[in-house]
Chain A
């Protein structure tokens, strides 16, 4: 299975919830590549919508994505604007945000963090 192209998409129409409300689009960068996100959504949602299936790799190289989706389990952590271990399921997207996969606990990129502070 290709890690970047897999099932996953936005649910435009819904029998109970109605049509997807119009949200302002913004751009985040996943592994350096621009990706569309919607204002107010967590990073996890933008990545799932884009079909990203692997969010990080463990120290031993085993792939991980999200598990609980509400900030409890830390399975979905990634390096966000230079800070590793950020829970992508409870962290909202921001214009220009840089989201990267981390290996193990990742590395702290102090310069990148300062640039986006």
Chain B
């Protein structure tokens, strides 16, 4: 039976939220998609590199082109997208409290709620980390690829994971010089393809190395790095001074769980996927059956997995609202799960796959 016309409300118009809204709308369910930004797409538009995976996962296509495709589809479907709209509260009975353009406040009764709020980049504290010029790698990536402005000329990248090496390369594409990429662990963390491109460009990589401090008066003028021992303690005498004006931090992300906490979703701790996050089942439902969590909020992965998780929740929510028959829902969610599983294979995917399996097990125990 269809529920009294209340729409599904999707919070966050990134890859996960867009895909959830698209599936709902395609099934004929009423859906409202909210995002605090002036433009939809989330962090897709700063990803100018080609994606991995097979063709059905958009492999070989650049992130911003995937974003354009999703936007075109949501436009064609006529989805009710509300931009510059911040969701600031969720009251009992699934009442969504939104503030539009920092001036108009209203509430909306949701039939289902899909939280696709993403993740926040981690900070790293060291003396001088608050100086102008120290920023997250994603911040620099947004500035160069979305806004087309270069925040600095000489950069130190802290962290050699995918974000670190991809942004290091993109900073060079944008005209900056990357002085070094440092990594606290004894081995590099990113995909070989991206790491090799940066190395071939002549950038120095230092493993078992940390940043001791940033120096400067009104902004970064120097970074001091040093080797660390197996217990991550700096080794005296190994300090090196780098002449940089920008320090980018690529030290992981944490799910943005605030709204899921307000919605009463049970939280669990999964360090491999970013820390505290709402538990979810294999339809992306949280412990609150009317609330779904998709994309980075449900464990930090990639845009490709976020899109599939969004579809999974969108399909299931459409069914739960009475807009899809049992058989279609089962077939389509199974297909989506197969694609998700394919994305979690290989050396890099295996760890995420195991973590996700653990989350599902935890959900069953609850």
Contacts and interface: CB of A to CB of B under 8 A. Distances in A.
Interface in B112-157: 120-121, 123, 130-136, 138-140, 142-145, 147-154
B185 interface: no
Contact of A11 (B130, B150, B221): B150
Contacts of A7: 150-154, 245-246
A54 B219 contact: yes
Interface in A1-48: 1-3, 6-11, 14-17, 20, 40-42, 44-45, 48
Contact of B38 (A14, A53, A67, A92): A92
A97 interface: no
Nearest to B147: A45
B219 A16 contact: no
B142 A69 contact: yes
Nearest to B174: A11
Interface string B185-228: 00000000000000000000000000000001111010000000
Given A54-B218, A63-B218, A67-B134, A42 B147 contact: yes
A39 to B, nearest CB: 11
B147 A15 contact: no
B121 A68 contact: yes
A110 B155 CA distance: 41
Given A11-B175, A14-B174, A70-B43, A54 B132 contact: yes
A109 to B, nearest CB: 16
A63 to B, nearest CB: 5
B173 interface: yes
Nearest to B86: A71
B139 A68 contact: yes
Q: Among the interface residues B135, B144, B256, which one has the most CB atoms of the partner chain A within 10 A?
A: B135
Interface string A67-101: 11111110100000000000001101000000000
Given A64-B130, A66-B139, A8 B149 contact: yes
A37 to B, nearest CB: 11
A90 B147 CA distance: 12
A89 B36 CA distance: 12
B143 A69 contact: yes
Given A3-B219, A16-B173, A90 B139 contact: no
Nearest to B48: A16
Contact of A69 (B48, B62, B132, B139): B139
10 contacts: A9-B149, A10-B149, A16-B48, A54-B132, A54-B219, A55-B132, A67-B136, A89-B142, A90-B36, A92-B38
Given A64-B130, A69-B138, A69-B139, 18 more contacts: A6-B245, A8-B151, A15-B173, A16-B48, A17-B145, A45-B147, A45-B149, A53-B133, A53-B218, A65-B219, A66-B135, A66-B139, A67-B135, A67-B136, A68-B121, A68-B138, A69-B143, A75-B130
